[in-house]
Copies of this chain bind each other. A is one copy, B any other.
């Protein structure tokens, strides 16, 4: 059984919040291997959390427990949940941050976290469920406690969803949207790279028309280009610069691609 636990939060690294979560984990099982996905999710940005977790999930070994805490509803009535998937486990608030992973990796079972003997304290803070509830549950789960012990089953179709307008292809035209802007300013669409692999063509976003290339270095310095990015999505980049700064195009912006009739390019 794997003993890896990952953490994804919007707590930042300025304060000791993340260190404190790791103290809570080590107090339960100091032998767990804890890996940070990122703690720099913009505060309360569930869409950014969804994207990062979706992309990281496939690269972890079977049995990994992913604890994700971007939780604007902490202290309200939103549910705290844990899910079992074929390849791993998810622990966090039921606010849609898992919906990207679940689009590609269907859940097998879900529970609401109600059994307080697995929390750090039966009276958790109103503001820091990461420390008091999610990290301890993740640590127990990674240590072998079965999912069902943490609370009652909940219906899989009751999980909160976060969705984008779907991508679609009609003949040579593909439409979709921007789903994420990374820190290099690369604009990542929700169009899978497979849809354009081997083709040439043009991508349109805002008023720009951008050629499809195969590597960053295929463009002249400063040139906008579209390519299949490292996550497997079609993305818009600038060789040696920031596509976001050039286009100022944000999450949900409409994107269209016109493929040339030749294959391969």
By a CB distance below 8 angstroms, the chain B residues around A127 are 215-216, 227, 229-230
Which of A20, A26, A33, A128 neighbours the largest number of chain B CB atoms within 10 Å of its CB? Answer: A20
Contacts of A55 in B (CB 8 A): 16, 20
Bound together, the chains give a CA A56 to CA B216 distance in angstroms of 30
CB-based contact A30/B61 at 8 Å: yes
- A236 at interface by CB-CB < 8 Å: no
* A113 and B228 alpha carbons, distance in the complex (Å): 23
Q: How many copies does the complex hold?
A: 3
| Residue A73 lies at the interface, judged by CB distance under 8 Å to chain B | yes
Q: CB distance B184 to A43 under 8 Å? A: yes
> A200 an interface residue at 8 Å Cβ cutoff?
no
Q: B27, A217: Cβ atoms under 8 Å? A: no
Whether the pair A23, B35 counts as a contact (CB closer than 8 A) is yes
Contact of A59 with B131 at beta-carbon distance under 8 Å, contacts A35-B19, A126-B227 already known: yes
Q: Which of A6-14, A104-112, A165-173 contacts B (4 or more CB under 8 A)?
A: A6-14
Q: For residue A242, which residue of chain B has the nearest CB?
A: B43
Chain A residues close to B by CB (< 8 Å): 2-4, 6, 8, 12-20, 22-24, 26-27, 30, 33, 35-40, 43-44, 52-53, 55-56, 59-61, 64, 72-76, 125-128, 131, 182-184, 214-218, 227-230, 232, 240
Expressed in whole angstroms, the Cα–Cα distance for A26 and B61 within the complex equals: 7
Distance in angstroms from A82 CB to nearest chain B CB is 20
Q: How many Å from the CB of A144 to the closest CB on chain B?
A: 15
B residues in contact with A214, CB < 8 Å: 75, 126
Closest to A8 in B: B16
Residues of chain B with a CB closer than 8 A to A75's CB? 214-218
